[in-house]
A and B are shown apart, each in its own frame.
Chain A
Amino acid sequence: MTIQDSVNALYKSGPKRVKLSDINARDSIGDKFGESTIDKPANTGGIASPLTEVTKTGDNGIIPDREYYAERTLTSTDGLLTFKVRDLKKLKMTDALENQVVFNFADPVNE
């Protein structure tokens, strides 16, 4: 190898072949709705205690007016026992000023 060859061998840089990384898909932006009720006091600062749950009439009398997620089955770690669970989805209350207070609970199915 000549000295020229030796010197030139020191240059090892070639052109880059840069690859773009994979990127995650982004969420679609669907129709967006937002609501505001007429009866909400313009100057309300919050919820007036006490809260009283809203009820409704069921087959067996007055029952809480609640909404539940779809029933799911839980199994004990030993596999011997199973439980059917309906997780609470919506809870409706009325505050001292008779304003409706709604609790919307997230679906815990993936917990």
Chain B
Amino acid sequence: MINSAALNATPVNSMAGTAPAGGGSIPLGTGGTPSVTLHTDATVYTAYANPADWIGWTVVVRVDGVDIGDQLIDKNPVTIEAERNAARVAEFTVKLSGAVDLLAWTGRAVTIDYKTAAGVEWRRFTGVIANPELDLTDMTLHCQCTDDLQLKADAIDNATLQSLTGGYWHKSTFDETSKGWNRLQELLSTVPFSAELDAAGMLKVHSWEASSTPNYTFGEDFLEENISIDLVQRSALTNTVNLAFNVRFERLYHRQEQLNWAYPLTLCETIERLTKLMRNDQVPESISAAGWHLLSATYTPAWPTGSYVCGLNDVLWNNLAPSSTCIGFTAYAAYRWRQSVTETFAITLAAPASVAVYGTLPEESETAVDYPTAHEDWGDDSNDFATLPAGFNYDADDNQFKDEIDFSDLAAALNCRIAYEVETKFSRTHRSNRVRFTIPVLQHLDFRHTVAVSDGNLSCKGTVAKWREEFDLTGAKMPTMAVELALSSGQSATESIVKNWTLPSHPDLTEFDPDLIVRQIPNHVGGTYSSPAFDESMWGFFVNWQAWLGGVPNPLNLYEQKLIMKFDAIDDGKTQNATETINATINVDIPHNPLVIAA
């Protein structure tokens, strides 16, 4: 039958197996605008109560804006099929006549509208002809049309897709170069949503979460002979994911010590033994030679030039270099180094309610983030050792440290991966249960709706996963809509989809009551008869008696007069590549939708 003519002439209730039920109303034939009363929450939809409503419907197919009703033939029904996360497709067949430019059919714009007997029209498809198939035996062209979902998504920038879906995205889980359709699918793999083009070709996002109260409830009179149910196989389910999320970063260390020294001899001893004083420059020289860095130093000058009493003698002390020698100092020195740390967040994602019923159905997952250091030159001589970047804290050994982690990025990475695992491994596998049935075309029924079935034998509720409408142009059948519901079998007490979880914490090594590290420089006086022989383990200030009024210095126990500065080794645990493991468990509830049958 062609456009503008009745699609059907036979009341539905004359068809086998479609006895009407009394009462209620049917949306068939009602208007296509929001002002029309649609079935609302908890309304029992009794299919054939008013079958005459669809009599007189037509389907209006426009190609490049032109109504081609006079070319449509009833060789095949006009069909429109929509599935979540997929292109909406339509098919129709036209009879060719005259000179036809076959090559011009591909890519032509197509719209398909329904039109009631009262002339109310509403759109159900907007797209293009993707695949025309010519049948030379009867000179017909079967047109397969698509709404071009993929190409339309490709034209949308990533920020808009992010905003549209509210999905998570991080390079540790997804392709850094993805965009358009691929980016959309990545985002949708982290949230319980699907994205499709609506009847007008606008991209819309729909939740998989069933509402507590269904938008439509279908009753007993039209479902009993066409219901089919597919239950998800246990082997297809996942309810535990052992996620190893590795994070590598640099831990920067800054160690600062206070160095104290005092000359071991009195003025009189210095004069009597002709001992030497320390040059101020020995302090920076020895610190630098040790690979450390002097921050500051204050020196105690030697005794001022003058006459002093030593025992019974008056002695004259001439301080030859008061500004460059000292008999004491307090200095601060620092050292910096880096450590590579690999932190593994060993997260057990689990759906306990599902585990309790189905047993543990695990999968392994692993990914990583490598944070490069922003301080490749950490510890080099070019550093300003007196100034620390922000974010340093003290550790238990009184070192200052900072983990070079972008914590907001790490949270985003963890959230993205967890969301991905929850959505793709838990939610998608558990909501693979399907209930299929066919009803008369229900105006506006779409993916945004939660649908319940309550026909006396079957009681269930789910969200629309797919639908297919079919218009038989012969008029022998009423326009029908095959609906496929998705039901989740998470065994939990909720129908809500988990959207939040608590991330495990990065270990905090901060010591909140640090101590000042103080190093007292020892003295070693050589030339005495009790001076020990030098050995390599000795460090500090070495000075010799060079004269002795009561005798002569012991020539066997003279030292090389110098300052040997020593800084202790750093614990290997803070210098070698380190691994740390943070164990955590995140439990989530997978939604559970009712699906009960009276056997």
B188: nearest residue on chain A (CB-CB)? A11
A84 within 8 Å of B by Cβ?
A: no
Q: Is there contact, CB below 8 Å, between B562 and A35?
A: yes
A15 near B174 with CB under 8 A, answer yes
Residues of B within 8 A of A37 (CB): 282, 560-562
**A8 lies within 8 A of B86 (CB):** yes
User: Is A57 part of the binding interface, using a Cβ–Cβ cutoff of 8 Å?
Assistant: no
Which of A12, A15, A40 meets B367, CB within 8 Å?
A15
Q: Which residues of A contact B561 (CB under 8 A)?
A: 37-39
Contacts A20-B368, A34-B287 given; indicate if A4 touches B89 (C-beta within 8 A). yes
CA–CA, A38 and B280, complex, Å:
10
Instruction: Tell me the dominant secondary structure on chain B's binding face.
Output: mixed
Across-interface contacts of A26 in B (CB, < 8 A): 339-340, 575-577
**Is A7 in the interface zone, CB < 8 Å from B?**
yes
Is B370 in contact with A20, judged by CB distance below 8 angstroms? yes
Measured between alpha carbons, how far is A35 from B291 in the docked complex, in Å? 11
| B281–A3 touching, CB < 8 Å | no
Are B175 and A32 in contact (CB-based, < 8 A)?
Answer: no
Interface centre among A4, A27, A40, by most chain B C-beta atoms within 10 angstroms, is: A4
A63-85 vs B: 1/0 string, CB under 8 Å?
A: 00000000000000000000000
Q: Would B89 and A38 count as touching, CB distance under 8 A?
A: no
| Size bin of chain B's contact surface | 35 or more
A109 an interface residue at 8 Å Cβ cutoff? Answer: no
Assess the B324–A35 pair: CB atoms within 8 A.
no
Q: Is B290 an interface residue (CB 8 A)?
A: yes
Q: Which of B24-32, B33-41, B479-487, B566-574 contacts A (4 or more CB under 8 A)?
A: B566-574
| Given A13-B175, A15-B173, A42-B324: A3 in contact with B89 (beta carbons within 8 A) | yes
Q: Are A35 and B565 in contact, CB atoms less than 8 angstroms apart?
A: yes
Closest chain-B Cβ to A88's Cβ sits at a distance in Å of 21
Question: Which residues of chain A are near B563, meaning CB under 8 Å?
Answer: 35-36, 38
Q: Quick one: which of B223-265 are within 8 Å of A by CB?
A: 246, 248
Q: Tell me, in angstroms, the Cα distance from A19 to B566 when the chains sit together.
A: 41
Interface string of B177-205 (1 = CB under 8 A from A): 01001100110010000000000000000
Q: Nearest residue in B to A37 (C-beta to C-beta)?
A: B562
Stretch from B142-150, B296-304, B445-453, B589-597 contacting the other chain: B142-150
- Bound together, the chains give a CA A18 to CA B81 distance in angstroms of 38
> How far is B200's CA from A38's CA once the two chains are assembled, in angstroms?
91
Given A18-B369, A19-B368, A34-B291, the answer on whether A7 and B285 have CB atoms closer than 8 Å is no
What is the minimal beta-carbon distance from A42 to any residue of chain B, in angstroms?
5
Chain B's closest residue to A39 (CB) is B561
User: Contacts A7-B149, A29-B575, A31-B569 hold; do A38 and B276 have CB atoms under 8 A apart?
Assistant: yes
Residue of B whose beta carbon sits closest to that of A2: B89
For B285, the closest partner residue in chain A by CB is A36
Contacts of B367 in A (CB 8 A): 15-18
Instruction: Provide the residues of chain B in CB contact with A7, threshold 8 Å.
Output: 86-87, 146, 149-150
Whether B565 and A34, one on each chain, are in contact in the complex, defined by CB atoms closer than 8 angstroms, is: yes
Residue A110 at the B interface, CB < 8 A? no
Q: How would residues 412 to 455 of chain B score, 1 for a CB under 8 Å from any chain A CB and 0 otherwise? A: 00000100100010000000000000000000000000000000
The interface residues of chain B lying within 8 Å CB-to-CB of A106 are none
Smallest CB separation, A81 vs chain B (Å):
39
- By beta carbon, the residue of chain A nearest B176 is A16
B181 touches which of A10, A18, A33 (Cβ 8 Å) = A10
B539 at the interface (CB under 8 A from A): yes
Q: Once bound together, how far apart are the Cα atoms of A30 and B280, in whole Å? A: 26
Known: A15-B174, A15-B420, A16-B367. A36 touches B562 (CB 8 A): yes
Q: Find out whether the CB atom of B172 lies under 8 angstroms from the CB atom of A18.
A: yes
When C-beta atoms are compared, the residue in chain A nearest to B339 turns out to be: A26
Q: Which of B131, B282, B366, B424 contacts A36 (CB 8 A)?
A: B282
Q: Which residue of A lies closest to B154 (CB)?
A: A10
- Can you list 10 A-B pairs with a CB-CB distance of less than 8 A? A3-B146, A4-B89, A17-B366, A20-B246, A21-B370, A28-B572, A31-B567, A32-B335, A35-B565, A38-B282
Interface residues of B (CB under 8 A from A): 81, 83, 85-87, 89, 130-131, 144, 146, 149-150, 171-175, 178, 181-182, 185-186, 189, 246, 248, 276-283, 285-292, 321, 324, 335, 337, 339-340, 342, 365-370, 417, 420, 424, 539, 543, 560-570, 572, 575-577
